[in-house]
Structure 1
């Protein structure tokens, strides 16, 4: 029987994660057995999905069933692209990501098509969301009705997301976002 009380920090990359199945696996930089990443552990961090190949830092423990993640400490988007390219993002500058986060809700997203749309709270205008933007944001999929935060830019074909941030992460990591989200939620009421 292994010692399930020993916790340690591990860095690695996401091998795969399937939100429909509720789990995935992480490969440690140190090698060894794959690490189970359960959807509940990811949700506590504030995300419902994570992109394949994303860098991740976890607290893990050994159990009778193998190594399991018990806490997500950090996630960084994958370094290389494996999905379809998006011409609007080819010339994206770091300064384009200086626009404020805006609270939004997913209208629909089809991973197999590679895109979907979201709406900013209080505004019916559709904001285009490309799967490559999700990947660059460290996410793999979006669900209809899911609350998110977007950095929106004017693309060649209209308004589009340049970055997608999970709602919980935006509220936790962006001090000014709490004030902004309260304004937009009041407008929707």
Structure 2
């Protein structure tokens, strides 16, 4: 059965809320109208298992008898960053210095949203990298699942090795492809 293309549209808006435990949340369209259901499977197809509340999002929607649903995520932009460092561990670092650290491929070892932290391992290393929930929020994520692929900028913080920025794997690949060749050669 062919989908009725007239019931589909591309929408920009803001994540009202998303609950990874429930597996869904809602988006508010910039043009108004009913809230748009965002299911975790649609996010997973984009390469993320969660999204931070307040993130800007662009989706393809489908209008059904039960309401409007997102069927594809086009882009996600994290919520605006607060002025100053995300954590006191970063207060002595220049944000430009942090952004010069290379993105490192990693997998989530475990993350507990209620505790507000977890750990990941950079590929090829058993060393634990500390992940703080505030770093996730500033990076546009709300939660992480064990085994989830990420890219992280890792620094030596006051409490050891820790993630200063976390990106979903697909977002990191896109960012690397957009960077000028001169920037990439400086990392090798």
Distance change (3 Å), C-alpha of 1:80 and 1:99: closer
Paired with 1:175 and 1:58, the residues of 2 have a C-alpha distance of 22
Pairwise CA RMSD = 2.1
1:38-187 superposed matches below 5 A: 38-79=39-80, 86-90=87-91, 91-175=93-177
Tell me the residue number matched to 1:9. Answer: 10
Q: Deviations over 1:32-90 (max 9, x none)?
A: 11001111211111111101111111111211111111211111111256xxx621244
- Paired residues of 1:12 and 1:28 also in contact (CA < 8 A): yes
Asked if structure 2 preserves the Cα contact closer than 8 Å seen for 1:19 and 1:48, the reply is yes
SS of the residue 2:41 aligns to: helix
For these two proteins, the number of residue pairs brought into alignment is 171
**TM-score, L = length of structure 1:** 0.82
Corresponding residue number in structure 2 for 1:183: none
* Residue number in structure 1 paired with 2:24: 23
Name the CA distance, whole Å, in 2 between partners of 1:29 and 1:76: 14
User: 8 Å contact 1:47–1:169 — kept in the other structure?
Assistant: no
Gaps of 5+ in 1: 177-189
Measured in 2, the distance between the counterparts of 1:94 and 1:32 equals 40
Gaps of 5+ in 2: 179-188
Q: Identify which range, 93-102 or 132-141, moves more after superposition.
A: 93-102
Regions of 4+ moved over 3 Å: 89-92
